[in-house]
């Protein structure tokens, strides 16, 4: 009692002794009442919190799963890479899911199965045989027989973390291997099933052991206490707090079953740290340390995990393998002494080599540029809170092989084209999409691998230069007033438009080509001829074409638009060229295919959409010229290196003072857009052909881009035209002709047509050609 | 009352004194920020290179899914060139059908991936799960993107879902892959006509 306090009491008429006695009793009564109130409050709190125990689960982002079937464009190396990334283990004999075996052209694997948005993929054993870059055939075993196709589980490429940084994969008790439960009980809390929340025997034993040792060597807290402690991790660790925790443990045991408490413990406990991501629960720890699921782990591996709660950092098997093995063996010894395992099992597990991941699997930092696009797409339907806390599974369209190959090629490739050499200033952006569906396969926001800064693929909005020209020529061809053999004037002009200074465009090297064919002007990217054509077609028609092809912002209606004075981000350019690659069918670029709950129930699916925005015949004519870019035009330099991938279609782009170097091109399977430039918008010394085209070629060669096999529309006819473009029929020279595609009713001008009535034979021949 | 509360209090204090900290218990996650550290793996991974697994049953013969090889633009033009004068166009570049290695001719089996997926589409439709049917049809489209029938199938499902705008776009795409005047082309025409 505080004496000064005592002195301050007012005088009383009661005898002093009895007065003091009453004082003590009333104080004690108050304390008891207070204590009871405290107990009730704690009891209420723990019940409320435990019942509402719902972890904030990060959203998991997956790449698209690898599809395996005869004929698939997948090499053996690509498959084994993917299997390793998924944590499949190379084994001499396949006994379990998650194992594979590779030799030469043959890969055998046992898939794990996965809950996809469109149904469950079973776990299957298959043999796959390769021929070059393709799968030649695939078959199962006696039980499964023929297997027409198999889908691997998707690789996790990112997480959207809750604010507290906690990550976990919730698991129910029946899915936890019994060995793990026994290991934990053996080492942490032997009397778990018999105590009532706190374990007096354990505490006394710990106390004795600690006193004897003169330091703390043993703890007496039960799993229940540890769980409580973990649930209120952020609170200070005072004596009062510990008493509170013990009370809470008792209350927990009073209201909940042992299984409920054990399940919560298995999911809650902290087992590792990666950057600002905290690894909680044993299911995630199995993935984190072994890249495998809990039910695939052997006794020694389970024992290793069971040893981690005591000190996940101190016993971190990635950093301190000896300590981790020692701890594991302690766990195994306890299991043996308590009769959970037999002596031979113990010996085997004790001697097992430690086989944890050398490094934690790459998370978040992995694909920031692609992820920004994913977040943009998701923002339409999901708020940030839902993404951080509800454990959504998000299935993206990223192709890991395309993304990784592109990234691995990009840095070296940019270095190789940079002038002056190796300044490291030249920046890059790449977008690769599926030519058919518009699904985004890969994105790079800078030259550096995994670059997480300014995302140029989305945010570097630059003039697109000659990349705009296909829109000009397509508008012209579609108008019906022009053919591939229309004669354009490539001569200097000065254009005056309202509200803008006079504009005098020129060709890239100030050459003047005079009269040229329309297809030639596009293939060789002639500026003056394009201005001639565009002014005849009308700026409004060109602007409208850009909108139809998929450009969503307003198009500036100045004559300089015709040479690309319209600013776009690489991803916007990719949309335009995706529509061209789709033969005039626009499919909005997408990064997300489906969203499911943590257990795989579908929430949202974003399907293939496609809308015809240009007639196929005009598209076919345009593509003739865009293939000509590789065969005769500004991308001819790349054709030697692209070999068997030709024909391909594409277009170079260069802006004033060589500030931007662009290339956009496509094959049958992929569309790729490459931008190179300096962040300060200075001269790069590169044209589209000397910069971006070379980088594009390096990447697409690695990806084995597939040639364009465009089907000509039924009404296309081929006609010979004079090689020399003339406007006056009298000068026509039909000794040399070029055969070009035309549409009926839109045949070449008589001045250049070498298949007039005189060449009946040629027409006949043409007919035959159609059959 | 006191008798009930006292033991609890005792245990609480006892356990508090038993030292829950100090190497014991669950460390706070802030404890180590470099968890992804370096190191590991003292022992070598025992990687044996086994004999290639023999399939329990003889490998089922299988061919590539039928791929209609369509010529590139440059394969097409019957060149009408003035007699005796060589064409100024470059020689057509031969377009190899995709695989680099020739595939041995094998008897074709019905179980192509597309056929298997179409069966799954049917199952989903039978179960009344139209969106799942669409998802599976799209999976088939990705595997064989130039098969008019697969696109057409997808268009059908979208129409049944009442998503007619999407159905029309997809049907026109299907039409662009169909051989002119083929039965499927006529079916698609009919389908487009009947769309509301």
So what's the pLDDT on residue B75?
35
Domain limits for position A748: 717-770
Whether B116 and A616 lie within 8 Å, measured CB to CB: no
Task: Quickly tell me which residue has 């045991």 as its tokens.
Answer: A253
pLDDT in tens, A83-126: 988 888 888 888 888 899 999 899 999 998 898 988 889 999 99
**CATH code, domain carrying A94:** 3.30.2060.10
Characterize the bridge pairing of strands A89-90 and A99-103. parallel
Instruction: Find the helix or strand (DSSP H, E) in which A367 lies.
Output: none
Q: How confident is the model at residue A232 (pLDDT cuts 50, 70, 90)?
A: confident
* Rounded Cα–Cα distance for residues A149 and A66 (Å): 10
pLDDT in tens, A715-742: 899 999 988 898 888 888 888 888 999 9
By Cβ distance, the residue of A137, A166, A434 closest to B62 is A137
Told to judge if A423 belongs to the known catalytic residues of this protein, a careful annotator would answer no
Q: What is the dihedral of CA A245, A250, A254, A259, to 10 degrees?
A: 80
DSSP labels for A615-659?
A: -HHHHHHHHHHHHHHHHTSTTHHHHHHHGGG-S-EEEEEE-GGG-
pLDDT at B39 over 50: no
Q: Which of A480, A452, A49, A89 is nearest to A234 (CA)?
A: A49
pLDDT in tens, A252-263: 888 888 888 899
In sequence order, which ranges of A151-214 are alpha helices (DSSP H)?
Answer: 178-188, 200-213
By Cβ distance, the residue of A243, A360, A608 closest to B141 is A608
Q: What percent of chain A has pLDDT over 70?
A: 92
pLDDT in tens, A123-152: 999 999 999 889 999 998 877 778 899 999
Q: Give the CA radius of gyration of chain B.
A: 33
Whether A246 and B15 lie within 8 Å, measured CB to CB: yes
Is the distance from CB of A482 to CB of A585 less than 8 angstroms?
A: no
Q: Which residues pair with A313 in a beta bridge?
A: none
Whether A608 and B154 lie within 8 Å, measured CB to CB: yes
- Please tell me whether the interface predicted TM-score (ipTM) of this complex is above 0.85: no
Q: What percent of chain B has pLDDT over 70?
A: 44
**A176 and A321 assigned to the same domain:** yes
**A74 and A123 assigned to the same domain:** yes
Is the distance from CB of B133 to CB of B124 less than 8 angstroms?
A: yes
Q: Does B110 touch chain A (CB under 8 A)?
A: no
By Cβ distance, the residue of B78, B98, B134 closest to A769 is B78
* Rounded Cα–Cα distance for residues B110 and A320 (Å): 55
**CATH code, domain carrying A248:** 1.10.3810.10
Residues of chain A positioned with their CB less than 8 A from the CB of B75: none
Domain range annotation of chain B? 113-194
Nearest CA in chain B to A319: B39
So what's the pLDDT on residue A43?
83
pLDDT at B106 over 60: no
Tell me whether residue A723 is in a domain.
yes
pLDDT in tens, B110-119: 478 999 999 9
Whether A754 and B82 lie within 8 Å, measured CB to CB: yes
Q: How confident is the model at residue A621 (pLDDT cuts 50, 70, 90)?
A: very high
Residues of chain A positioned with their CB less than 8 A from the CB of B79: 720, 739
Dihedral of CA A749/A753/A757/A760: which sign?
negative
Q: How confident is the model at residue A18 (pLDDT cuts 50, 70, 90)?
A: low
The average pLDDT across A570-574 equals: 97
Whether B23 and A314 lie within 8 Å, measured CB to CB: yes
Q: Which of A188, A301, A427, A478 is catalytic?
A: A188
The average pLDDT across A660-664 equals: 96
Q: Which residues pair with A396 in a beta bridge?
A: A592
Domain total for chain A?
3
Q: How confident is the model at residue A704 (pLDDT cuts 50, 70, 90)?
A: very high
Local structure of residue A559 (DSSP, 8 states): G
The average pLDDT across A275-298 equals: 86
Task: Quickly tell me which residue has 């006892």 as its tokens.
Answer: B14
CATH of domain B113-194: 1.25.40.10
Residue at which a domain ends, from A323, A351, A379: A351
* Rounded Cα–Cα distance for residues B158 and A437 (Å): 16
Q: How confident is the model at residue A268 (pLDDT cuts 50, 70, 90)?
A: confident
* Rounded Cα–Cα distance for residues B104 and A317 (Å): 50
Residues in chain A: 771
Tell me whether residue A325 is in a domain.
yes
Return the higher-pLDDT residue of A752 and B134: B134
Q: How confident is the model at residue B25 (pLDDT cuts 50, 70, 90)?
A: very low
Whether A718 and B76 lie within 8 Å, measured CB to CB: yes
Q: Does B107 touch chain A (CB under 8 A)?
A: no
In b/e form, how buried is each residue of A588-621, taking b as 16+ CB within 10 angstroms? bbbbbbbbbeeeeebbbbbbbbbbbbbebbbbbb
Q: Which of A291, A293, A413, A466 is catalytic?
A: A466
**A335 and A206 assigned to the same domain:** yes
So what's the pLDDT on residue B46?
37
pLDDT at B45 over 60: no
Nearest CA in chain A to B40: A318
Contacts of A759 (CB under 8 A, 6+ apart): A720, B80
The average pLDDT across A354-383 equals: 78
Residues of chain B positioned with their CB less than 8 A from the CB of A137: 59-63, 106
Residues of chain B positioned with their CB less than 8 A from the CB of A766: 78, 80
DSSP labels for B53-98?
A: PPPSSPPPP--PPP------GGG-------TTS--SSPPPPP---S
Q: Give the CA radius of gyration of chain A.
A: 36
**A216 and A287 assigned to the same domain:** yes
The average pLDDT across A593-599 equals: 89
Nearest CA in chain B to A720: B80
Whether A108 and B49 lie within 8 Å, measured CB to CB: no
So what's the pLDDT on residue A215?
64
* Rounded Cα–Cα distance for residues A581 and A620 (Å): 10
**A305 and A207 assigned to the same domain:** yes
Q: How confident is the model at residue A234 (pLDDT cuts 50, 70, 90)?
A: low
**A91 and A215 assigned to the same domain:** no
Lowest mean pLDDT of A320-324, A437-441, A465-469, A546-550, name the range: A320-324
pLDDT at A636 over 70: yes
pLDDT in tens, A62-88: 999 999 999 999 999 999 999 988 888
Return the higher-pLDDT residue of A22 and B75: A22
Q: How confident is the model at residue B1 (pLDDT cuts 50, 70, 90)?
A: very low
- DSSP SS3 for B31: helix
Lowest mean pLDDT of A361-370, A726-735, B119-128, B153-162, name the range: A361-370
Q: How confident is the model at residue B195 (pLDDT cuts 50, 70, 90)?
A: confident
Tell me whether residue A650 is in a domain.
no
DSSP labels for A84-140?
A: HHTT-EE-SS--STTEEEEETTEEEEE---EEETTEEEPP-EEEEEEETTEEEEEE-
pLDDT at B16 over 80: no
So what's the pLDDT on residue B128?
92
- DSSP SS3 for A172: coil
* Rounded Cα–Cα distance for residues A484 and A752 (Å): 11
Residues in chain B: 196
Tell me whether residue A605 is in a domain.
no
pLDDT in tens, A419-433: 877 677 899 999 999
Dihedral of CA B124/B128/B129/B130: which sign?
positive
**A254 and A131 assigned to the same domain:** no
Whether B134 and A607 lie within 8 Å, measured CB to CB: yes
Q: How confident is the model at residue A218 (pLDDT cuts 50, 70, 90)?
A: low
Is the distance from CB of A729 to CB of A761 less than 8 angstroms?
A: no
Q: Which of A105, A71, A75, A128 is nearest to A702 (CA)?
A: A75
Lowest mean pLDDT of A32-36, A116-120, A359-363, name the range: A359-363
Distances (CA, A) of A648 to A40, A631, A639, A717, B170: 76, 9, 9, 21, 25
Q: Does B83 touch chain A (CB under 8 A)?
A: no
Characterize the bridge pairing of strands A114-116 and A89-90. unpaired
Task: Measure B3 CA to nearest chain A CA, in Å.
Answer: 11
Q: CB count, 10 Å around CB of A727?
A: 11
pLDDT at A570 over 50: yes
Instruction: Find the helix or strand (DSSP H, E) in which A167 lies.
Output: strand A166-168
In b/e form, how buried is each residue of A355-372, taking b as 16+ CB within 10 angstroms? bbbeebbebbebbbbbbb
Q: How confident is the model at residue A24 (pLDDT cuts 50, 70, 90)?
A: confident
**A230 and A269 assigned to the same domain:** yes
Told to judge if A188 belongs to the known catalytic residues of this protein, a careful annotator would answer yes
**Given 3-state DSSP classes, what are the helix, strand and coil percentages for chain B, each rounded to the nearest 5?**
45, 0, 55
What's the start-to-end Cα distance of chain A, in Å?
112
Q: What percent of chain A has pLDDT over 90?
A: 49
Distances (CA, A) of A764 to A760, A771, B41, B71: 6, 11, 75, 21
pLDDT in tens, B154-177: 999 999 999 999 999 999 999 999
So what's the pLDDT on residue B31?
36
The average pLDDT across A523-539 equals: 95
Q: Which residues pair with A106 in a beta bridge?
A: A103, A129
* Rounded Cα–Cα distance for residues B105 and B92 (Å): 27
So what's the pLDDT on residue A219?
66
Distances (CA, A) of A445 to A371, A398, A416: 11, 15, 18
How would you write A680-742 as a 3-class SS string?
A: CCCCCCCCCCCCHHHHHHHHHHHCCCCCCCCCCCCCCEEEEEECCCCCCHHHCCCCCEEEEEE
pLDDT at A362 over 50: yes
So what's the pLDDT on residue A619?
95
Lowest mean pLDDT of A401-415, A714-728, B71-85, B105-119, name the range: B71-85
Test mutation, A37, A43, A70, A748, chain B, max B CBs within 10 A: A70
**A212 and A301 assigned to the same domain:** yes
Return the higher-pLDDT residue of A536 and A273: A536
Q: How confident is the model at residue A698 (pLDDT cuts 50, 70, 90)?
A: very high
Q: Does B166 touch chain A (CB under 8 A)?
A: yes
Nearest CA in chain B to A636: B90
Lowest mean pLDDT of A233-247, A263-277, A514-528, A685-699, name the range: A233-247
Classify burial at B165, counting beta carbons within 10 Å of its beta carbon; exposed 0-12, middle 13-18, buried 19 or more. Answer: exposed
So what's the pLDDT on residue B22?
35
Inter-residue long-range contacts of A420-426, CB under 8 Å, 24+ positions, other chains counted: A420/A685, A425/A678, A425/A679, A426/A676, A426/A677, A426/A678, A426/A684, A426/A686
When mean pLDDT is compared over A520-529, A680-689, B66-75, the highest value belongs to: A520-529
Provide the greatest CA pair distance for chain B.
118
Q: Which two tokens stand for residue B165?
A: 């705008």
- DSSP SS3 for A37: helix
So what's the pLDDT on residue A311?
86
Tell me whether residue A726 is in a domain.
yes
Characterize the bridge pairing of strands A125-131 and A106-110. antiparallel
Is the distance from CB of A252 to CB of A238 less than 8 angstroms?
A: no
**A283 and A322 assigned to the same domain:** yes
**A245 and A321 assigned to the same domain:** yes
Q: CB count, 10 Å around CB of A350?
A: 16
Angle of helix A16-51 relative to helix A223-231, nearest 10 degrees?
80
By Cβ distance, the residue of B42, B85, B115 closest to A321 is B42
So what's the pLDDT on residue A611?
95
Return the higher-pLDDT residue of B83 and A136: A136
Test mutation, B62, B66, B167, chain A, max A CBs within 10 A: B62
Whether B26 and A309 lie within 8 Å, measured CB to CB: yes
Average pLDDT taken over every residue of chain B: 62
By Cβ distance, the residue of B17, B63, B82 closest to A734 is B82
Residues of chain B positioned with their CB less than 8 A from the CB of A129: 59
So what's the pLDDT on residue A517?
95
Tell me whether residue A304 is in a domain.
yes
Q: Which two tokens stand for residue A81?
A: 């890479």
Contacts of A607 (CB under 8 A, 6+ apart): B134, B135, B138, B166
Tell me whether residue A578 is in a domain.
no
In b/e form, how buried is each residue of A492-521, taking b as 16+ CB within 10 angstroms? eeeeeeeeeeebebebbeeeebeebbbbbb
**A246 and A292 assigned to the same domain:** yes
* Rounded Cα–Cα distance for residues A552 and A542 (Å): 14
Tell me whether residue A111 is in a domain.
yes
* Rounded Cα–Cα distance for residues A482 and A749 (Å): 9
So what's the pLDDT on residue A20?
67
């Amino acid at each position: 009692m505080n004496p000064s306090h005592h002195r301050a009491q007012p005088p009383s008429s009661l005898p002093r002794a009895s007065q003091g006695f009453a004082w003590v009793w009333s104080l004690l009564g108050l304390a008891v009442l207070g204590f009871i109130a405290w107990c009730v409050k704690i009891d209420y709190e723990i019940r409320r919190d435990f019942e509402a125990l719902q972890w904030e689960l990060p959203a998991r982002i997956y790449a698209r799963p690898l599809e395996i079937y005869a004929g698939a464009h997948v090499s053996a190396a690509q498959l084994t890479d993917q299997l390793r990334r998924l944590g499949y283990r190379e084994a001499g004999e396949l006994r379990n899911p998650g194992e594979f075996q590779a030799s030469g052209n043959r890969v055998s694997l046992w898939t794990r199965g996965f809950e996809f948005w469109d149904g469950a993929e079973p776990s299957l054993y298959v043999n796959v045989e390769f021929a070059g870059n393709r799968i030649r055939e695939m078959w199962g075993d006696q039980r499964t027989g023929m297997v027409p196709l198999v889908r691997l589980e998707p690789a996790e490429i990112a997480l959207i973390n809750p604010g507290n940084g906690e990550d976990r994969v919730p698991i129910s008790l029946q899915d936890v291997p019994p060995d793990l439960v026994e290991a934990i009980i053996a080492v942490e809390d032997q009397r778990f099933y018999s105590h009532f929340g706190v374990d007096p025997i354990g505490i006394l034993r710990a106390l004795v052991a600690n006193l004897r040792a003169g330091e703390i060597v043993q703890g007496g807290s039960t799993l229940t206490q540890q769980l409580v402690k973990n649930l209120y991790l952020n609170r200070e660790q005072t004596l009062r707090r510990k008493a509170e925790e013990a009370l809470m443990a008792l209350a927990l045991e009073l209201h909940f079953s042992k299984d409920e408490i054990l399940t919560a413990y298995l999911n809650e406990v902290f087992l590792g740290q990666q950057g600002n991501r905290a690894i909680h629960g044993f299911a995630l720890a199995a993935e984190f340390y072994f890249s495998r699921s809990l039910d695939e782990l052997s006794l020694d591996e389970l024992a290793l995990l069971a040893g981690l709660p005591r000190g996940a950092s101190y016993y971190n098997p990635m950093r301190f393998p000896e300590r981790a093995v020692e701890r594991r063996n302690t766990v195994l010894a306890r299991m043996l002494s308590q009769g959970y395992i037999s002596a031979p099992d113990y010996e085997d597990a004790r001697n097992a080599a430690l086989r944890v991941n050398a490094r934690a699997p790459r998370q978040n930092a992995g694909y920031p540029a692609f992820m920004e696009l994913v977040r943009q797409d998701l923002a339409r339907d999901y708020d940030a809170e839902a993404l951080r806390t509800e454990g959504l599974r998000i299935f993206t369209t990223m192709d890991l092989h395309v993304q990784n190959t592109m990234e691995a090629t990009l840095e070296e490739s940019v270095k190789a084209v940079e002038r002056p050499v190796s300044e490291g200033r030249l920046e890059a952006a790449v977008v690769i999409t599926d030519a058919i569906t518009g699904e985004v396969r890969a994105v790079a926001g800078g030259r550096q691998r995994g670059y997480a800064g300014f995302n140029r693929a989305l945010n570097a909005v630059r003039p697109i230069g000659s990349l705009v020209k296909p829109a000009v020529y397509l508008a012209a061809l579609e108008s019906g007033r022009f053919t591939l053999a229309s004669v354009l004037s490539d001569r200097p002009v000065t254009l005056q438009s309202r509200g803008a200074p006079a504009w005098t465009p020129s060709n890239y090297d100030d050459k003047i080509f005079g009269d040229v064919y329309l297809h030639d002007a596009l293939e060789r990217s002639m500026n003056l001829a394009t201005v001639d054509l565009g002014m005849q077609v009308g700026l409004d028609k060109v602007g409208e074409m850009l909108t139809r092809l998929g450009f969503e912002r307003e198009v500036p209606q100045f004559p300089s638009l015709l040479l690309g004075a319209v600013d776009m981000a690489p991803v916007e350019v990719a949309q335009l060229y995706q529509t061209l690659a789709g033969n005039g069918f626009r499919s909005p670029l997408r990064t997300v295919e489906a969203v499911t709950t943590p257990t795989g129930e579908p929430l949202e699916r974003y399907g293939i959409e496609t809308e015809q925005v240009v007639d196929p015949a005009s598209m076919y004519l345009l593509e003739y010229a865009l293939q000509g870019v590789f065969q005769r035009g500004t991308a001819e330099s790349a054709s030697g290196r692209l070999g068997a991938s030709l024909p391909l279609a594409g277009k170079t782009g260069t802006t004033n003072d060589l500030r931007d170097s662009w290339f956009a091109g496509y094959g049958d399977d992929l569309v790729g857009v490459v931008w190179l430039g300096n962040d300060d918008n200075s001269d790069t010394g590169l044209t589209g052909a000397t910069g971006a085209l070379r980088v594009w070629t390096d990447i697409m060669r690695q990806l084995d881009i597939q040639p364009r096999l465009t089907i000509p529309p039924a009404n296309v006819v081929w006609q010979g035209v004079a090689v020399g473009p003339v406007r006056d029929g009298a000068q026509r020279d039909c000794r040399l002709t070029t055969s070009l595609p035309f549409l009926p009713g839109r045949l070449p001008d008589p001045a250049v047509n070498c298949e007039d009535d005189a060449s009946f034979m040629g027409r006949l021949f043409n007919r035959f050609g159609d059959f | 009352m006191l008798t009930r509360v006292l033991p609890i209090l005792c245990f609480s204090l006892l356990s508090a004194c038993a030292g829950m900290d100090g190497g014991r218990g669950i460390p706070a996650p802030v404890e180590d920020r470099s968890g992804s550290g370096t190191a590991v793996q003292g022992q070598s991974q025992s990687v044996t290179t086994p004999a290639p697994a023999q399939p329990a049953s003889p490998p089922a013969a299988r061919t590539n899914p039928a791929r209609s090889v369509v010529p590139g633009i440059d394969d097409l033009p019957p060149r009408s060139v003035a007699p005796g004068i060589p064409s100024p166009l470059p020689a057509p570049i031969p377009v190899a059908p995709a695989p680099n290695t020739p595939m041995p001719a094998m008897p074709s089996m019905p179980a192509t991936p597309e056929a298997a997926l179409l069966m799954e589409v049917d199952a989903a439709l039978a179960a009344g799960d139209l969106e799942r049917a669409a998802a599976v049809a799209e999976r088939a489209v990705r595997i064989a993107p130039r098969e008019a029938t697969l696109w057409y199938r997808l268009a059908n499902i979208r129409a049944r879902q009442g998503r007619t705008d999407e159905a029309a776009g997809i049907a026109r795409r299907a039409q662009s892959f169909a051989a002119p005047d083929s039965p499927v082309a006529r079916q698609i025409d009919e389908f487009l006509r009947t769309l509301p």
